[in-house]
Amino acid sequence: MTINTLNKNNTIIDFEKIRADFPLLQRDMNGKPIVFLDSGASSQKPQYVIDAMNDYYTNQHANVHRGVYRLSQEATDAFEKSRRLAQHFINAPSEKEVLFVSGTTDGINLVASSYGRKFLKEGDEVLISAMEHHSNIVPWQMACELAGAHLKVIPINDEGELLMEEFDQLLNERTKIVAVNHISNSLGTINPVKEIIEKAHAIGVPVLVDGAQAAPHMKIDVQALDADFYTFSGHKVFGPTGIGILYGKEKWLNAMPPYKGGGDMIETCTFEKTTYNELPHKFEAGTPDIAGVIGLGAAIEYVQQIGHEAIGQHEQELLEYATTELKKIEGIRLIGTAKNKASVISFLLDGSHPYDVGTILDKLGIAVRTGHHCTQPLMKRLGVPGTIRASFAFYNNKEDIDKLVEGVKRAKRMLS
Amino acid sequence: MSINEIQDEIIEEFDLFDDWMDRYEYIIDLGKKLPLIDASLKTEERLIKGCQSLVWLNAKQEEDKIIFTADSDAIITKGIIALLVRVLSNQNAKDIAETELYFIDKIGLKEHLSPNRSNGLVSMVKQMKLYGAALK
Ligand SMILES: Cc1ncc(COP(=O)(O)O)c(C=O)c1O
C-alpha cells in the first residue's frame, strides 16, 4: 500500500501529505480548490480503496459462496478477508458475529425488525435518545407500532449531553432494548455508551450502538464496550457507499429470526419448510455487494495503517483550533458544546439562516452541511431550524479551517 | 410588461454583474426589500415546506390577473422569491400557467431551483402555476 502519510522512518504520520491519497480533494468547486468539511455526511475515498474495487472488477469478479471454480473461490476469499478485517477493526470475538449490511440504516433496521419481531410485546419499551439520527428513530417507531410497544427518549441538556439521571429513571423492566448513537452527527457529542451498556446489562437489557460517526474517528472495541449490537457505514470510514457492518452478539443473532429471505441464507429449502444457514450467512440473503465489501476491507486497512490514535490526535487539534477561531466571530453560536466531542462543529450565525450561510460558503468552494442533519427532533429540542455543520476528517488541515472562518466572516458581511 | 419582457429585463440587469458576489449581494438586497407577506397570511395552508428553508405564498385574484405575495425565512431564498414575484405577479392567469421560466438559468441561479435543493422554491413555482391554471 502506498500511503503518503508515513515519513521516511515509516513512523510519524504526515497529515500534510495525506491529501495526495485522495484524488477528489485535488478538484475545484465553483472555481476554487475544494475545502471539504462534510465528511460527517460521507468521507472521501483514498486511491487505495478505489484501486481495490477497480482491481476486483477487473481481475477477480465472480459470485461468492457458490462456484467450485478457482475464480469464485478467489472472490470468496477476498470477500471473507474483508470480514476478518472488519472483525479486527471493531475487535469482535468471532467473524460469525460480523454481518455485511448496506449501511448503518440497514443495520438498525435489521435489528429493529428482527429483534423486534421476536422480543417486543405490547406494553414493552424501546429506549433511544433525543439526539438520534432519523435512522435510529424511525425503525424503532415501526417496530413499536407493530408490537404495540412504546418509544421512550433520554433527554439532553442545552450543551447537547445526555441526562444520565433521566436515563436511570427511564430504564426499567419494561425496557426491551436501548439504542443510542456513539457520537452525535449533529453535535459531535461523544456519548457515554459504556456506562449506558453497563447499566442496561445490570437489568438484562441489550444495547444497540449506532457507530456511524464513531468508526471514522476512534478505535471501536465492541468487547470492551460489551455492546450487543454495533453498526456503522462504510462510506463514512473512507470506503464505498452501499456497504456497512452490523456486529451482533451470537446469542442474540441466533435467537433472532432472519430479516430477509433469499439465496445464501438458507441451509435447505423445500416448499414446506426452509432451514436457515448459520451465522453470519443467515442474515445475508442474496448476492452481496462484493465490490463494496472489498472496498470496505481496503478502507479498513488504510485507516489502520494510519492508526486511530494519530487520527484522533490530529482531529482533536483541528476541533480545538476551529472552535477557538469560530468563537472569535461575533454573532456565532455554537450548537453542541459537550465536554466530550468529536470533530464536528455545528453553529449558527445570529440573524442568518443556515441555508444562506451554506450557499455563500459553497460559492467560496467550502462544502459544509446545512439543515437538520436528519435529526429533526433534536433541532426542535434545541429550538433551532437547523445548523451549519463543519465536520473534519484526518485529511483536513488548519488551512481548511482558516478558509472556513474567512468564509463565515464573508457570509456575515454579505448577510447582515 | 409581459412575463418574457420582465424575464429579459432581469437577465439584462444581471449581465452587469461581474461575479457571483455581486449577483448574490443584489439578491440579498432584494430579499431584504421584499415587502413581507402580512403576518396573518403566514398560515399553515400557505406554507410550502422545503427541508432547508420555509416559503409562504399567497395568491389573490384581481379580474383575470393574479397578485402574488411571498416570504421565506432564508434571505437568499427570499431574494429569488422577489424575482419570481416580479415576473409572475400581476400577470394573466393563463400566461402564468403556460410560461417557461428561463431567466433563472440565464442569471446563474439554476441550482436554487433544483428539485433536490429542498428550499421550497420548486414547489413554490409549481404552486404559482397551479394557481394560474386553476384561475384561468
Ligand atoms: C449517527 C448516524 N446514524 C445513522 C446514519 C445513517 O447512515 P447511512 O445513511 O449510511 O445508513 C448516519 C449518517 O448520516 C449518522 O450520522
- Select from A139, A225, A223 the least CA-distant residue to A182: A225
Shortest CA distance from B73: residue in chain A = A353
Q: Over range A244-259, report the average pLDDT.
A: 97
Domain encompassing residue A278: 51-304
pLDDT at A2: 58
From A149-163, B40-54, B104-118, B120-134, the region with the lowest mean pLDDT: B104-118
Judge: B52–A30 Cβ closer than 8 Å, yes or no.
Answer: no
Q: What is the A375 CA–ligand 1 centroid distance (Å)?
A: 10
Q: A281, A304, A327: which is the final residue of a domain?
A: A304
Q: Indicate whether A80 and A34 sit together in one domain.
A: no
Q: Indicate whether A244 and A319 sit together in one domain.
A: no
Judge: B52–A352 Cβ closer than 8 Å, yes or no.
Answer: no
B28: chain A residues, CB-CB within 8 Å? 356, 414-415
Quote the cell numbers at residue A328: 472569535
The CATH number given to whatever domain includes residue B104 is 3.90.1010.10
Burial class (CB in 10 A: 0-12, 13-18, 19+), A271: exposed
pLDDT at A7: 47
Give B71→chain A minimum CA distance, Å: 14
Confidence of residue A16 (pLDDT cuts 50, 70, 90): confident
Shortest CA distance from A386: residue in chain B = B52
Domain encompassing residue B18: 3-135
Q: Indicate whether A297 and A312 sit together in one domain.
A: no
From A105-109, A281-285, B48-52, B121-125, the region with the lowest mean pLDDT: B48-52
pLDDT at A1: 62
**Over the stretch A268-280, which tens digit does the pLDDT of each residue have?**
888 998 899 999 9
Q: Indicate whether A313 and A234 sit together in one domain.
A: no
Judge: B53–A414 Cβ closer than 8 Å, yes or no.
Answer: no
CA distance A246 to A110: 9
Q: For ligand 1, is residue A212 a contact (CB within 6 Å)? A: yes
Does residue A3 carry a pLDDT above 80? Answer: no
CA distance B46 to B120: 12
- Whose Cα sits closest to atom 12 in ligand 1? A212
Q: A304, A334, A360: which is the final residue of a domain?
A: A304
Q: Indicate whether A295 and A344 sit together in one domain.
A: no
* Residue with grid cell 441489550, as numbered in its chain: A206
Q: Indicate whether A82 and A128 sit together in one domain.
A: yes
Q: Which residues on neighbouring strands pair with residue B49, listed in sequence order?
A: B54
The CATH number given to whatever domain includes residue A148 is 3.40.640.10
Helix ranges (H only) for A8-103 are 47-55, 70-89
CA-A244 nearest atom, ligand 1: 10
Does residue A6 carry a pLDDT above 60? Answer: no
Does residue A252 carry a pLDDT above 70? Answer: yes
Q: What is the A214 CA–ligand 1 centroid distance (Å)?
A: 11
Is residue B51 annotated as part of the catalytic site, yes or no?
A: yes
Q: Indicate whether A300 and A312 sit together in one domain.
A: no
**Over the stretch A202-224, which tens digit does the pLDDT of each residue have?**
999 999 999 999 999 999 999 99
Shortest CA distance from A413: residue in chain B = B25
The b/e string for A124-151 (b: 16+ C-beta within 10 A; e otherwise) is bbbbbbbbbbbbbbbbbeebbeebebee
B112: chain A residues, CB-CB within 8 Å? 359
Q: Indicate whether A86 and A190 sit together in one domain.
A: yes
Which residue of B53, B116, B121 is the best one to mutate when testing the A interface, meaning the one whose CB has the most A CBs within 10 A?
B53
CA distance A136 to A378: 12
Let me know: does A64 contact A290? Beta carbons within 8 Å: yes
Let me know: does A186 contact A378? Beta carbons within 8 Å: yes
CA distance A233 to B33: 45
**Over the stretch B43-70, which tens digit does the pLDDT of each residue have?**
888 888 766 788 899 999 998 899 999 9
Judge: B52–A359 Cβ closer than 8 Å, yes or no.
Answer: no
Q: Look up residue A36 and give its DSSP letter.
A: E
pLDDT at A10: 52
Q: Over range B123-130, report the average pLDDT.
A: 88
pLDDT at A8: 47
Q: Over range A112-136, report the average pLDDT.
A: 98
Q: For ligand 1, is residue A105 a contact (CB within 6 Å)? A: yes
Judge: A372–B51 Cβ closer than 8 Å, yes or no.
Answer: yes
Query: How many domains in chain B?
Result: 1
Q: Indicate whether A283 and A167 sit together in one domain.
A: yes
Q: What is the A104 CA–ligand 1 centroid distance (Å)?
A: 6
Q: Which of A97-101, B69-73, B117-121 has the highest mean pLDDT?
A: A97-101
Q: Indicate whether A223 and A100 sit together in one domain.
A: yes
Does residue A382 carry a pLDDT above 80? Answer: yes
Q: Which residues on neighbouring strands pair with residue B65, listed in sequence order?
A: B62, B92
Confidence of residue A12 (pLDDT cuts 50, 70, 90): low
Is A360 at the interface with chain B, CB within 8 A? yes
Q: A285, A304, A323: which is the final residue of a domain?
A: A304
Q: Over range A15-41, report the average pLDDT.
A: 94
Judge: B51–A360 Cβ closer than 8 Å, yes or no.
Answer: no
Which residue of B76, B78, B116, B119 is the best one to mutate when testing the A interface, meaning the one whose CB has the most A CBs within 10 A?
B76
- Whose Cα sits closest to atom 16 in ligand 1? A185
Q: For ligand 1, is residue A136 a contact (CB within 6 Å)? A: yes
Query: How many domains in chain A?
Result: 2
